[in-house]
Amino acid sequence: MSSFKGFTPEALDYFFRIELDNSRENYERLRPVYQRAVREPLFALYDALTPLLRLIDPGICHRRARCVPTAFADARIARYPMRTYTYLHYCAEMQSEENVPGFYFEFDARGYNCGLRIYHYSAASMHALREAAAENVEEFQRVLTPLEGTGLKFSGEPYKKPRHAGAPEPAALWLNAKTWRIERAVVPPDELFFSPALTERIADDFSALADLYHFLRTLSMTTHARQFL
């Protein structure tokens, strides 16, 4: 039985206070709040969701150290020392480190979202993925169509000019976008965020996205293999 009880307003307040003063000193003052309101519930949510993710893909990366971040931002790319949001993510284990599909849940001071996206991409790798999807547009349509009406919305960055203007909907949204992401965004957070039922909401969304995940995983492996032909 899951120990996840939902998050509290204190979790949102922690990130709000970090945004106001993004310093290690402020984090040290807030460390007990972070541990109590952010880290411990996030670990419990991880424990609740991981069995489902392993059913969707037994080979998915599910090590907690890879799925749950620390409070500190990535110093290689961040301007400030502390994260202003947190997340869970579960990414496909693949030979290639590019175009990796992964499930995610994340929240900050304003709300939360959950869904599926492509990680570790470049312009060239995304071009290859789009072209491969266009070659398999009927299958792409098959996995995308059931997601209509679920509340999961495509939120990738579109091109100013369509690259595949004749593609059918909903595949056209993806084929004419620079980045790929589909998610449920809840801003401000609803009552589920503060409830154990958040687990069920996320699990339902991840389950709905499972066929798309497998399609993208296969597509990514195919484009990677083509590089060596």
Question: Could you tell me if residue 187 is inside a domain?
Answer: yes
Q: What distance in Å separates the CA atoms of residue 209 and residue 182, rounded to the nearest whole number?
A: 9
**How high is the pLDDT of residue 229?**
42
Residue 208 makes CB contacts below 8 A (sequence gap 6+) with 146, 147, 150, 152
Give residue-wise pLDDT tens across range 61-115: 999 999 999 999 988 888 899 999 999 999 999 877 789 999 999 999 999 999 9
Give residue-wise pLDDT tens across range 2-13: 699 999 999 999
Q: How many domains are contained in the chain?
A: 1
Question: Could you tell me if residue 4 is inside a domain?
Answer: no
**How high is the pLDDT of residue 228?**
42
Which domain does 155 fall in, by range?
A: 9-226
Give residue-wise pLDDT tens across range 115-151: 999 998 889 989 999 999 999 999 999 999 999 999 9
pTM score over 0.75: yes
Helices then strands, counting H and E runs in the chain, come out as 9, 5
Question: Could you tell me if residue 158 is inside a domain?
Answer: yes
Beta bridge partners of 102: 91, 117
**How high is the pLDDT of residue 82?**
97
Can you give the CATH number for the domain in which 178 is found? 3.30.930.20
**How high is the pLDDT of residue 224?**
65
Question: Could you tell me if residue 60 is inside a domain?
Answer: yes
3-state SS, residue 111:
coil
Give residue-wise pLDDT tens across range 20-57: 999 999 999 999 999 999 999 999 999 999 999 999 99
Question: Could you tell me if residue 166 is inside a domain?
Answer: yes
Question: Could you tell me if residue 2 is inside a domain?
Answer: no
**How high is the pLDDT of residue 226?**
59
- When pLDDT is cut at 50, 70 and 90, the band that residue 227 belongs to is low
